Structure 1
């Protein structure tokens, strides 16, 4: 019964957290206007172009993953690596952060790749991605810091008092996001302690982590990494041109919102729902977009990008079964 309760909570709590934040963000929102923009005010040509980058980011990640597996003597099919990435992101919609484990299970099932070793390569990937986002964040902050200072100087914005901060609903949105991250870290530590009790698992994971040292073509690995993050950015930035109220936003403005949204999805909610909306809307208002239009942008863009993840997940699952059945 306890195991069933824990599994249920792992599914329900992220959904409740995301739903709570979405409620606060959109509690007084004009959904009729959002529907009208979706039908008549969206440039679908630009939207489809942005989705292309969304697909390619997964493809490049699959190619890079295969490259880190090869030093361990694992040679999975390229299509299986890409499909596993598709499935993992779709899995994260149901169980946040479980997708990283599920893609290792896919290769273990279809290509006989050691689960523990492939999990180690995933850890390596995440370390590389963390360094990338920290580098992007540092550059963005240095480049755009004068913009923030100018904004506060021209608008006369004052830092809110502690009393006002505590009584603001946005304070509780951020608070719940922090709590969600703490819960995620707790479960990750629990998983690590479990692995330590299983003989041989840690050594295999460590071997996978260290596989990066033996990657044959390091420049190609770096190229894949640059392409992955470039695709992530353009997947988001190009959506600015889908709407009249955001097509004037600059490249650097897109970079600031991209960084904020990237950190927001760390909160364990389905595809960052809630925290991502909060971050993007807040930063978009910083660049002069009114709250309603910013809310419409976040709602439509996040909804379509989530739909893409679902479609790719279904495709990846079906393609895995069909290709491997045919080859057998």
Structure 2
């Protein structure tokens, strides 16, 4: 249902960004890009995915869940691929895939991912605050006029009260459900199962507090976001209209693009393009050129995710077939055996 509902939203956002730009102009602009630099940006992006897998592995090890870096990397890329189909499903999908591979408790792997994502939220908030401080007149005004104010304008009057009513109703429903489960109204087995899941989630989320190697966790976190920044700057250098932009502007582009990726649509499709094009207009770059840059950046990242994820899934499928193949039987292939000597 989320795919059916959100796919038109994604298409609508992309149309909103594209409505003043022709496809022919967009394709002609993309042909002018330096794809050697785009390839280098993709290599940096691959390093960021490996660093994310290594960081998640630190949390898993702290929870007593031992998996190789390859296995964790495979699960991360599998989750990214699922995000292209169903928004926000990738976090659950990568946990389920790793739990299936290693027979880990799903609740503990989910808890570790919650901790990992919370650390990303903290880093992104700090980056946004830094962007506002460094470029208050431009970036601060952009956030307020193009993102915050339009969002608040849509939730005034009856819409605001409707949203608050739904929020309070959902909280009351969740509270009542938890109370009923604790009382055993739905049965003792469900209460015990929910208790195990809650304890597993708690243990997984608590790993970030009791990390034995916090230095590595912080190092991987910094490496992830530095790679994102460098990848953004390399794509700027690859596209003629953005080549002259300073590296500080690519930092602001990273922040704006992350806001676009946070919109719950498939892979940020449409929302990322619109956010990037709006900010580049502030930098004096026409909407068409900004959209071409966004298409180049988003398309390259999506291609990387799909190619790597498919390659890893094919490899795992072949390994699984080899593990399940029966042992070689000589009589089945009519192999003659030498006579036994007495």
- Structure 1 ranges of 4+ moved more than 2 A: 146-149, 188-199, 318-328
2:307 to 308, 311, 320: 311
Cα deviation for residue 324 of structure 1 reads: 5.9
2:131 touches 2:139 (CA, 8 Å); kept in 1? no
**Corresponding residue to 2:133 among 130, 134, 142:** 142
Q: Match of 2:222?
A: 226
1:327 and 1:74, CA in 2 relative to 1: closer, same or farther beyond 3 A? farther
Report if aligned partners of 2:132, 2:139 keep a CA contact under 8 Å in 1: no
Residue 36 (structure 1) aligned with residue 28 (structure 2) = yes
What residue is the counterpart of 2:115 in the other structure?
124
Deviation at 1:148, TM superposition (A): 5.3
Shift in alpha-carbon separation, 1:257–1:268, aligned structure 2, 3 A: same
Deviation track 1:265-293 (CA, whole Å, cap 9, x = no partner) reads 11111111111111100100111111111
Q: Say if 1:51 and 1:308, in contact at 8 Å, map to a contact too.
A: yes
- 2:4 matched residue in structure 1: 12
Question: Could you say which residue in structure 2 is the equivalent of 1:240?
Answer: 236
Aligned to 2:337: none
Structure 1 residues 191 and 265, CA, compared in 2 at 3 Å: closer, same or farther? Answer: farther
Alignment of 1:1-328 (within 5 A): 9-39=1-31, 41-147=32-138, 198-323=194-319
CA shift at 1:63, angstroms? 0.8
**How big is the alpha-carbon RMSD for the aligned residues of Structure 1 and Structure 2?**
3.1
Tell me the distance in 2 between the aligned counterparts of 1:238 and 1:323: 36
For structure 2, the residue ranges without an aligned partner over 5 or more in a row are: 183-190, 325-342
Q: Compute the TM-score of the two structures, normalised by the length of structure 1.
A: 0.82
> What is the aligned residue count?
296
- Distance apart, 1:259 and its partner CA: 0.7
Gaps (5+ residues) in structure 1?
Answer: 1-8, 153-158, 166-170
Cα offset for 1:300? 2.3
Give the match for residue 332 of structure 2: none
